[in-house]
Amino acid sequence: MECIAKGEFEVVNPYNRTVKRIPATAPPVHTIVFWSKNFGPFLAAGWGDRLRQLGYHLYFQFTINSDDPVLEPNLPGLGQRLEQLQRMCDRFGPQVVSWRLDPICHYRWNDASVRDNLADVERIAAAAAAAGIRRCTTSFMDVYAKVARRAARHPGFQFVESDRSQRVKILLDLELVLSALDIALFTCCENETLAALPDHSKIAAAACIPNDLLMRLYGGHLSLGHDSGQRRAAGCGCRISSDIGSYDRHRCRHGCLYCYANPGS
């Protein structure tokens, strides 16, 4: 919001530390896309209403996974997050809110049987459908080196990677649950698994920055070119955009065990 007031975002490249200045006025900004697992502070501060008053279009990626204090230790309880989802849809419209069930994780804890974070899927899906949500995007966890180092600091904990047949079954089971609620299922960077799905499945690849959808929602003109900085070969469908986030200046405090992004954990 401080950058909005100044009229530009200063974005520091995390690799070479060069600074790029991006206009923060609407126009030329078409839409601001937010990602979060906890929109409580955003709602409480009224920032969305203020941004809309200033002429910005908004789109929200709301990650809601099952309650799991091992994987996501510092999040509000699931009930609070589902309440936030309803408030977001009431305030901004369900058409601009996408539910992310992301990532799907498998793990062992103290040599117990393999667990996952899908226990509350039916509860979340029912709440999402009641709020008017019609899109869900999911992916399976990738064990990056940073993730493996973080997991190693938790004695008795071990991530377990699922194989392709397990992933196909999980996606088809999810599709069955969601289609009954009129929610379409999409995947993020899961080309290999998508290719193994049977022909009757309607699961499709997602674009987390969906410029075609943003134009349908808000009009105007946006590039439909692919974002060259993303994992297109793996199935990323994101279109050209400017990432204004900063892991250095805006540290995430959620402490999720599977996070590949936060440099401070």
Quick: pLDDT tens for 134-190: 999 999 998 888 888 888 888 889 999 999 999 999 999 999 999 999 999 999 989
* CA atoms of 141 and 144, how far apart (whole Å): 9
CA 37, distance to chain mean position in Å, is 8
Mean pLDDT of all residues belonging to the chain: 91
pLDDT of residue 263: 62
* CA atoms of 31 and 21, how far apart (whole Å): 17
**pLDDT exceeds 60 at position 223:** yes
pLDDT of residue 265: 55
Q: What is the pLDDT of residues 32-63, one digit of tens each?
A: 999 999 999 999 999 999 999 999 999 999 99
pLDDT of residue 135: 95
pLDDT of residue 189: 86
Paired with 239 in beta bridges are 226
Look up the pTM and report it: 0.92
pLDDT of residue 264: 55
Q: Measured in Å, how far apart are the chain's first and last C-alpha atoms?
A: 26
Paired with 140 in beta bridges are 104
| 20: phi then psi, degrees, rounded to nearest 5 | -115, 135
- Which is higher by pLDDT, 235 or 257? 257
User: Under CATH, which number does the domain 2-234 receive?
Assistant: 3.20.20
* CA atoms of 66 and 116, how far apart (whole Å): 9
pLDDT of residue 134: 97
pLDDT of residue 235: 60
- 71 touches 33 (CB < 8 A): no
Structure tokens at 182: 């009129």
Give me the sheet containing 106-109, strands edge to edge: 115-116, 106-109, 157-159
Q: Mean of the pLDDT values across residues 93-104?
A: 97
Nearest to 42 by CA among 213, 255, 209, 250: 250
% of the chain beyond a pLDDT of 90: 68
- Which contacts of 10-16 are long-range, i.e. CB under 8 A and separated by 24 or more positions? 11/242, 11/243, 11/244, 11/246, 12/246, 12/248, 12/249, 14/247, 14/248, 14/263
- Using only the alpha carbons of the chain, give its radius of gyration: 19
Q: Mean of the pLDDT values across residues 108-130?
A: 93
Cα dihedral across residues 118, 35, 191, 146: positive or negative:
negative
